[in-house]
Structure 1
Amino acid sequence: MPYWLQLMLDSLGPLLWAGLIFTIPLTLLSFVLGLAVGLGAALARLFGPWPLVAIVRFYVWIIRGTPLLVQLFLIFYGLPSLGIVLDAFPAALIGFTLNIGAYSSEIIRAVIGSVPRGQWEAAYSIGMSWSQAMRRTILPQAGRVAVPPLSNTFISLVKDTSLAAAITVPELFQSAQRIVAVTYEPLILYVEAALIYLAMSSVLSALQVRLEARLGRYGGFLEARS
């Protein structure tokens, strides 16, 4: 067996284990928490008082205007100078959550704004309150429209988690770096790590296509009934 193939096979287990223990949990937790932050920020931008709107706009401006890697460094290496010391994984989780929250807030704000005004009026006409109209009428429609851009955000997050290696989170990419430090074979190990990321992204992309097709059929059924 060629040396490079043997090395890839020997390294596959540790890389997959690092992905299972750190990369996947970091991705899922960051995305779920980021969506919650994004929804709150979007609702604040659309319906909140102007001071809250100003704060949210500033938050989105800062996060979208600075590199994610810099944000992670500020949280992990910068905050200790203020007496706030975080372990690597929580620091990465906070950084990714804030980043996803800012980007997803713009997506959610756009899709909520795209729901026709008549849907609000129809909900109010049957006695719904604002919160009921939002929960039962507006968000379900907006959620279907938001699936493609949010799915793309999730797939990008899977790859972006490799940046957590810069703040010592032992995820998939840092695991590859550690093996490189022993084997001195960066090309083989980094290609293997890239292939693993490619495989995960390809699976997620295929699931996204199926989900969009299913939601498209569901949307067509609703339109036919209406």
Structure 2
Amino acid sequence: MKRRLPGFRATLAIAALVLVALAGTIIWWNLRAQRREIARLRSAIRNLTASYPIARLVVLDQTADAEGRARTRVRLVFVDDQGRRCGDPIEATLEGSRIYFEALLMIFKDPLVERGERRSMAFPTRLFSEAIAPERGVALSVLDENGVPTIYDRPERTPEDLSPATYRKILQRFWHYANHPDQAGRYGIKVLQGEAVFTEYQVKRYYSVFVEADGGLSIRPELIWWEE
């Protein structure tokens, strides 16, 4: 029976070590790739489910005339994406009890939202109610000297990283781009549309109007109540 040489055993040992090291490297790279993918998915979910405020409103009181027709007095302030107030409060009294908040929406394509490069934008237009036509409502278009809504006013760039010139161009031709999605798509825009939301308000309770990053408006009650 032949005896194996010591050198052969050493070679086998080295080969085994190399295989173990190679397997470990492959496992490490796979784990690293999985962690990166998990981080990417978490970031995408966070970006797609994010929201930011654009306004706060409170119904100060609701009354009814002799014929039972409701009248609602509402106070609204615009806020930036950090919740800081922009401009002076707006107070108005409207016929009816169901107050609608209307805005124009600019909704960007999902991949851009997932990567955090864009988020939906809303441009408040008016308040109205079930008792009055929208065109008879209270106008909410609050613009700065450059024609940009104050809630998105930035000295250099907008939160969505559109240049101020491009931003104004889209606003000025909003409905044109809404009806020409191929042109809007050049700016990463998926949809341009109007939307109005309402809720069953409790008198003197604050409500915040939010824009969902992937599109749409929402009204959420706060835990804060109006105090004279």
> Which structure has the highest strand share of the two?
2
Higher Rg of the two aligned structures: 2
Q: Which has the higher contact order (CA 8 A, sep 6+)?
A: 1
TM class by shorter chain equals under 0.3
**Taking structure 2 as the reference length, what is the TM-score of the superposition?**
0.24
> Which structure has the highest helix share of the two?
1
